[in-house]
Structure 1
Amino acid sequence: MIFEGATFGILGGLVAFPRRLAVRDVTRRGGIVRRGLTRQTTHVLFGRKLLDKSDAEIEALYASAQASGAELLSEAGFRRRLGALKKEQGASLSRQSLLDQARLDPRAFDLLSLFDAFEHSAEPYSFRDLILARKYAALLNAGTGWAAIARSVQLAGKVSSLTAVSLHSQGDDTIYRRDGDDLSKIDGQKFLALEDEEADADLAFELAEAAEASGEFARAASLYSQYLSMEPGDSVAAFNRANALRKAGDVEEATHAYALAIKLDPKFVEAWFNLGSLWKDRGRADLARRHLARAIEIDPDYADPIYNLAALEFESGALGEARALWARYVAIDPDSAWGKLAARGIFLIDITMAAEGKIA
C-alpha cells in the first residue's frame, strides 16, 4: 500500500468527503496528512474547492506540485487508493491511447483529471472516458478553458452522465447541454457537501492564506489561530502562523508557533529550519545550531540549513566545520548566487588557514 510512511498534502477544500475522514484513514494506514505542499510531501491531493480560485492560482499550485516530484491525486483517485471506489468494468485504455484518439491536449487532460472530469482518474480508462475526452477536446478547440470545463462538470452529478448529452460553449466560461433545439446550463445534483464545521475550518484557512499572500501578516496570524482552534493538530497551519507572526514582528510568539509545528510533526523540516534561522536572528547561536543541524539530519539534501549552519560556524571561528558545510552546499547548488557565495567562503577560509599554517 502507498500509505505507510507517506505524507499526503491537501491543496484546497475537499468536496466528495470530509477532510477528517482522509486524515483518519491515512493515519490508520501509517501515513500523514497535511495541508499544502512541503519537502516531505509524497502525494498531493487536489481538492475540488480549488476551483473557487482563479485559473492562474490553480495552475501555479499545479506547477509547484509537479515540480515537487510528488504523486498527484484527484479526490476520486484518492478514494480509489483507499478502496472506497472501484474501477468500472471494461476499462482498458492507456493514457496515451486516449489522448491520441481524442486529440486532447495532455496538460489539459491532466488538469481535468485532477478535478475528476473523467470516470477514471488514472489508467486504465474506459470508453466513456474517451467519449468525454473528445467532448472536452471540442470545447477546448472552441476556446473554452480547461478550468471552465472542470467547474461546469462539477454541476453534472455523476460525470459519466455527460456522455449522453451534447456539450457546447458560447464563448464564455459556462458549458451548456443541448436539449432538443435549446441550450441549458449543466445543472445536476452536486457532490456531497461538507458539514458546516469543516466548511468553516476550510474558509478560515483560505482566508488566512489570502491575508498572508496580501501582506496582512497580523490578520493572517489571527485567522490561522481561528483555524487551529477548530483543527488543533494541523502542523502546516501552525507553521504558516509562525511565518506570519515573524513577518509581523512578533518573534516571541513566532518562536512558540514554530515549536508547536515541530511538536505536531517532529519531521517537519521547514519548521526546524525556520526556527533555527529565527534563533540566529535572536542572537542564540547555540539554539540556532541545534535546530539547523536537526533539519539537515532529517533532510540531508536540504541546502538552506546547510548554508546557514556553515555561516554560523564561520562566524564562531570554526573554520574547518564551516568549510566542510559550504563544500557540501556547493555540491548541491553550485550555480546559484548562494552557491557562488559558499564558494567564496571556502576560498576565504583556505586563505585564512593557509596564512595560519593550518593547511599547506
Structure 2
Amino acid sequence: MTALAGTVFGTIGALAAFPLRLAAREVERQQGQLRRGVNRRTTHVVFGRTLLAKAGDAEIERRVAAERATGRKLISENGFLRLLGLMKPPEASAMSLQSLLDQSRLAASDLDLLSLFDAFEHDCEPYSFRDLILARKYAGLVAGGASWGAIARSVHRSGPVASLTAKSLNVGSQRGRADAIYLDGGQSELDGQLLFDLGSPDDDTLEELFADAEAAEEAERHEQAAALYQRCLAIDPTDAIAAFNRANCLRASGHAAEAAHD
C-alpha cells in the first residue's frame, strides 16, 4: 500500500505544467484517485495555475476559502506534482511559516495565496532563505499597490521562481500597467523541471474546456456550462465528473428529461 492509497484528489483550474491525464495515471498507480472538479469524496484539492488566467482575485479567494472551510487539504500545482514524484523537490529548508511572516512582513493571507499558486520555491513550510528573499520582495510590491494576484500572474511569466531572488521587481503602475510586475532585464518564459513528457495538445484543450465549464456553472450560465461539459465528454467519454456536472446543469436549466439520460 502506498502513502496516497485512498486519497481522492480534485482539481480547481487546469494544471499549467502537466497534463491531468498523465497525473491521473500516476495517482492511480499509487492507489489514489484524481478527478476534475470537487465532490463529496474529495479529500485533497489541487489549485491549477491556469485559474489565475480564468478568474479574478476575489473569485479565487472565495473558492479557496470555501474549500478550506470544508476541511479538505489544499495543494498547489507544484506541491501536487512533487507529492507524486513527477517534479524535482527544491533544496532542503528549515524556515517555519511564522518565521517567514515575521521576517518578511508579508501578510499571512498573501503568503497563503502566493504559496498556493507556486510563487515560492516551496509551496508550504518549511520555507527556504530564497523564499524569504522573495517574500520580502513581494511585501514591497504589495506596499506599492500590487495585489497578490498580479504578483502571481507576473511571476509565472518571468522565469523560474528561484531566479527572481537576484532580480529587481517593480510594480507595473510605473509603466502604466497596474496589473503586472516588471523585472529589470526583461522577461522570459517559465521553464519547469518536470521528469515526464508533457503529452498531447488534446490534454490542454480538455483542461481548458473543463475550466470554462466550471466557470460558466459558477456564474449560473447553466445551458452554456452543459454544452461545455458535453464537449469535454466528446473528448473523454469516461469522465464521470463532467457527466455528473452536465446533468446538474441540464436540470438547472429546465432540461430534466435530458439530464435523466446522463
Deviation at 1:170? 4.0
Partner of 1:152: 154
Conservation of the 8 A alpha-carbon contact between 2:225 and 2:246: yes
AA at the equivalent of 2:69: A
SS in 2 for 1:121: coil
Q: Which runs of 5+ in 1 are unaligned?
A: 258-360
- 1:232 Cα deviation after fit: 2.1
- What is the aligned partner in structure 2 of residue 10 from structure 1? 11
Give 2:9's aligned amino acid: F
Amino acid paired to 2:8: T
Give the SS at the match of 1:157: coil
Do the aligned partners of 1:154 and 1:191 also contact (CA within 8 Å) in 2? no
Q: Which amino acid aligns with 1:95?
A: L
C-alpha separation in 1, matches of 2:117 and 2:212:
22
- Residue equivalent to 2:190: 190
Are residues 141 and 216 of structure 1, via their aligned partners in 2, closer, same or farther at CA, if it must alter by over 3 Å? closer
Cα shift at 1:173 = 1.1
After TM superposition, list the pairs within 5 Å mapping 1:277-292 onto structure 2. Answer: none
Unmatched 5+ residue regions in structure 2? Answer: 193-197
Q: 2:72 maps to what in 1?
A: 70
Counterpart for residue 195 of structure 2? none
Q: Secondary structure at the match of 1:9?
A: strand
Q: Which residue matches 1:175?
A: 181
Q: Distance in 1 between matches of 2:20 and 2:47?
A: 12
| Distance across 2 between alignment mates of 1:216 and 1:122 | 35
Q: 2:125 aligns with which of 116, 123, 126?
A: 123
Specify whether residues 137 and 240 from structure 1 end up closer, same or farther in structure 2 by C-alpha distance, changes over 3 A only: same
Alpha-carbon distance in 1 for matches of 2:221, 2:184: 46
Distance 1:241 1:90, change over 3 A: closer
Distance 2:128 2:81 in 1: 18
Amino acid of the structure 2 residue aligned with 1:31: G
Shift, 1:215, TM fit: 4.1
1:242–1:144 CA distance, 2 compared to 1 (3 A): same
1:83 CA drift (Å): 2.0
String of CA shifts for 1:310-337, please: whole Å, max 9, x gaps. Answer: xxxxxxxxxxxxxxxxxxxxxxxxxxxx
Give me the whole-angstrom Cα distance separating, in 1, the residues matched to 2:79 and 2:165. 20
- Structure 1 residues 91, 210: CA separation in 2 closer, same or farther (over 3 Å shift)? closer
Which of these residues, 205, 226, 232, is aligned with residue 227 of structure 1? 232
How has the CA–CA distance of structure 1 residues 194 and 64 changed in structure 2, closer, same or farther, with 3 Å as cutoff?
A: farther
- How far 1:128 moved relative to its partner? 0.6
TM-score normalised according to structure 2 size: 0.89
Read off the aligned partner of 1:35 and give its amino acid letter. Answer: R
d(CA) in 1 for partners of 2:207, 2:92? 37
Deviations 1:51-102 (A, max 9, x none): 0111122111111111111111111111111123343334111111111111
Cα separation, 2, equivalents of 1:225 and 1:150 = 32
The one-letter amino acid paired with 1:228 is L
Name the residue aligned to 2:20: 19
1:336 aligned residue:
none
CA deviation digits over 1:250-271, x for unaligned, max 9?
22221232xxxxxxxxxxxxxx
1:246–1:90 CA distance, 2 compared to 1 (3 A): closer
* Higher RCO (CA < 8 A, seq sep 6+): 2
Over 3 Å counting, the alpha-carbon distance change for 1:207 and 1:82 in structure 2 is closer
Higher-Rg structure is 1
The answer to whether the 8 A contact 2:10-2:45 is kept is yes
- Alignment match, 2:144: 142
Query: Could you say what secondary structure the match of 1:256 adopts?
Result: coil
Deviations 1:97-136 (A, max 9, x none): 1111111111110100111100111222111111001100
Q: SS in structure 1 opposite 2:184?
A: strand
Q: Give the Cα–Cα distance (whole angstroms) in 2 for the partners of residues 115 and 210 of structure 1.
A: 18
Contact kept in structure 2, 1:15 and 1:194, CA below 8 Å: no
Cα 1:158–1:253, aligned 2, differ >3 Å: closer, same or farther? Answer: same
The CA distance in 2 between the partners of 1:12 and 1:206, in whole Å, is 5
Per the TM alignment, residue 165 of structure 1 is displaced from its structure 2 partner at its CA by 0.7
Number of equivalent positions: 251
Match of 1:242 in 2: 247
Q: Quick one: which of 109, 112, 120 aligns to 2:111?
A: 109
Letter in 2 for 1:13: A
After superposition, what is the alpha-carbon deviation per residue over 1:258-307, rounded to whole angstroms, capped at 9, x for unaligned?
A: xxxxxxxxxxxxxxxxxxxxxxxxxxxxxxxxxxxxxxxxxxxxxxxxxx
Q: Does 1:83 align with 2:100?
A: no
Q: Is the 8 A contact 1:15 1:191 kept in 2?
A: no
Q: 1:209 aligns with which of 207, 214, 218?
A: 214
How far, CA to CA, are the matches of 2:206 and 2:50 in structure 1? 13
CA RMSD across the alignment: 1.8
Partner of 1:345: none
Please say if residues 121 and 130 of structure 2, whose CA atoms lie closer than 8 Å, have aligned partners that are also in contact: yes
- For residue 157 of structure 1, what is the amino acid of its counterpart? G
Indicate how the Cα distance of structure 1 residues 216 and 100 shifts in structure 2: closer, same or farther if over 3 A, else same.
closer
